[in-house]
Amino acid sequence: MTERLELDVLRAAYGDCLIVRYQNGEVPRHILFDGGPTRCWDDALEPHLESLWAEFKDEDDQLVFELGICSHIDRDHIRGLLELTLRLLDEADGGRPFVRFNEFWHNNLRNIVQRDDPAAHSAALASIVDENTAALGLENEISRAVLASYSEGNKLRQSLSRLAVTTPFVSVEDEPRERAGGLIVRVLAPSRKRIEALQKAWEVRAPDAEQLAADLDSSIPNLASIVTLLEFGAGAEKKTLLMTGDALWTDVIEGLEAHGYPVDGSAMLDVLKLPHHGSGRNVGAEFFERVPARIYVISANGRHSNPDAKTIDMLREGRARSRPADEPFTLVMADTLTSGKKARRKEVLARLEALEAGGCTILRPDGVARTLKLV
């Protein structure tokens, strides 16, 4: 019986795009995590999907994904998915799309603030988002981008609906889900309690443009971000992958605890995708101490000062507290650091060189995607 577990880390520029490929028997299976920005679709995701299609298409000439996940609505995670669904819709008009999803997880804003009452706030939200954002007088670039991200999240939901793909709301309270082929997916975030608290906050006021932008820019995407723990195999041979989106490390710890995963440094993940492209605002040394891994993945190219040099410091410091100094580990850089301020890039590169000198293996970009063979 064929058993295989691989992780494709795509060159996603300043975003995230990863594909888990696994097999426990005759049928190869796939899970897509985020789609990166538009540049990722053009340069990496589309050509990589076409390569996978040529190798793994089924009898219907489709590359089947057991699951797709959009962790949250930020443009650097969702744009590539929008490009993908546009192609699939075009192909569906004349036949079968080259990719099919059995299910897709996407906690979009409309699901969050209207999950119990689909009609609530719809007119107010639609009028705010669908109007030209310039007419709203939003001078802040982030506010405009956030409003556009909401609109894009809604477009993704509509496209998946037209493709007849189910999009359930998921939260940490959900039971672990065993996918076909024996892979178990545990949802570590968001918390239903926090989502419901957010719903109540929306009920006490009608959202205006400025308030919507402020809410979206802070709490809503973070609360909606989907964090998952994947488990493949059993016993001593079990492999674990932690996919964090742009979550805060404290939320990740709480989700792991809710599912009974040890967070005292005694358990070892096989793969940890760092939150928020290696931003120092989303992690702490305590996180790396309590949740060590054999392989760490940073998906960033220097834009928005990601990854942060202090993140590398926290990784080294935290891991040293709970793991032997001579224990090997690997850091995968999904893309080349070509964006952002040169001085910041030099600082990060110096930290990476220091890690490498200390025994860490640094894997740099390799083509459109680097494949990590885990089983």
At 233 the pLDDT is 95
The one-character DSSP state at 360 is P
At 208 the pLDDT is 53
Q: What is the pLDDT of residues 263-298, one digit of tens each?
A: 999 999 999 999 999 999 999 999 999 999 999 999
At 3 the pLDDT is 92
How buried is residue 194: exposed, middle or buried, by Cβ count under 10 Å (0-12/13-18/19+)? Answer: middle
Q: Where are the alpha helices (DSSP H) in 218-362?
A: 219-224, 249-258, 285-290, 309-322, 342-357
Residues 278/12, Cβ–Cβ less than 8 Å: no
At 221 the pLDDT is 58
- Phi and psi at 205, nearest 5°, equal -150, 145
Encoding tokens for residue 260?
Answer: 């009974």
At 218 the pLDDT is 47
At 110 the pLDDT is 62
Say how far apart CA 258 and CA 369 lie, in whole Å.
33
At 107 the pLDDT is 83
The whole model's pTM is what?
A: 0.89
At 165 the pLDDT is 97
Residues 274/307, Cβ–Cβ less than 8 Å: yes
At 142 the pLDDT is 47
Domains and CATH numbers, the chain: 3-370 (3.60.15.10)
At 145 the pLDDT is 53
At 307 the pLDDT is 98
Residues of the chain with pLDDT below 50 are 115-139, 142-143, 204-207, 213-219
